[in-house]
Chain A
Amino acid sequence: TQLLEQSPQFLSIQEGENLTVYCNSSSVFSSLQWYRQEPGEGPVLLVTVVTGGEVKKLKRLTFQFGDARKDSSLHITAAQPGDTGLYLCAGARGSQGNLIFGKGTKLSVKP
């Protein structure tokens, strides 16, 4: 059983389109993070959300944490080829030290 479900698994779009990636769980998380990973590299942290209902913006990326702190979304506006990569969500639960990762959404943005 996957604790964090990400959808879609794969997404291929044209440059300039908008997209939303979802991260869902039946569990409550104390914080949730989004990472982007490129081939041959480790994941790189994009954002951490902590408060239910929180919205954070990073240039063309908008992150939202669900009110109940069980889910999150990542919205990209006017996608560019440089946004191509694997997007991973990861949740922290209380005092548990390690993060739980979703399987990721592989995004391809074609010029």
Chain B
Amino acid sequence: GAGVSQSPSNKVTEKGKDVELRCDPISGHTALYWYRQSLGQGLEFLIYFQGNSAPDKSGLPSDRFSAERTGGSVSTLTIQRTQQEDSAVYLCASSPDQGGRGYTFGSGTRLTVV
């Protein structure tokens, strides 16, 4: 597609439920990133996929968070047993290489855990 597409744009869920967030990157971009943006906290790195290499999961805050990327394209971020502190905007970005030349971001998914 022309840009990075994320769905849903908004998600309200009850504490303890699982959620799945989807990211469709720009076609041909080998690198895909997930970040989390909380009020006043800036962008927090979560996970990074580069081609067929093993993902860099060093930013995932707990084992409730996981992500996969199928066929080198679409990615899904899953949060299990959601907590109120998981409420944030989850941003996905892609880049044609390792990101040194810049990311293209999606519009994000605003997750609210009630």
Contacts and interface: CB of A to CB of B under 8 A. Distances in A.
Interface string B68-112: 000000000000000000000001010000111111111110000
A95 B31 CA distance: 13
A2 B108 CA distance: 23
Interface residues of B, number: 26
A100 B48 CA distance: 12
A70 to B, nearest CB: 17
Interface in B20-58: 31, 33, 35, 40-43, 45, 48, 50, 56
Contacts of A98: 33, 45, 48, 56, 59, 99
Nearest to B33: A98
A99 B41 CA distance: 15
Contacts, number: 62
A13 interface: no
A74 interface: no
Q: How large is the interface on A (under 10, 10 to 19, 20 to 34, 35 or more residues)?
A: 20 to 34
Given A97-B56, A98-B45, A98-B56, A48 B100 contact: yes
Contacts of B103: 43, 45, 99
A42 B108 CA distance: 6
Nearest to A47: B102
A46 to B, nearest CB: 9
Given A45-B104, A92-B99, A101 B42 contact: yes
Q: Which of A33, A42, A43, A99 has the most CB of B within 10 A?
A: A42
Interface of A: 2, 30-31, 33, 35, 40-45, 48, 50, 88, 90, 92, 95, 97-104
For the complex of A and B, list the 10 residue pairs with the smallest distance between their C-beta atoms, beginning with the closest: A42-B105, A103-B42, A101-B43, A45-B102, A98-B48, A92-B100, A98-B45, A97-B48, A97-B98, A31-B100
8 contacts: A31-B101, A42-B106, A44-B105, A95-B98, A97-B48, A97-B99, A99-B33, A101-B35
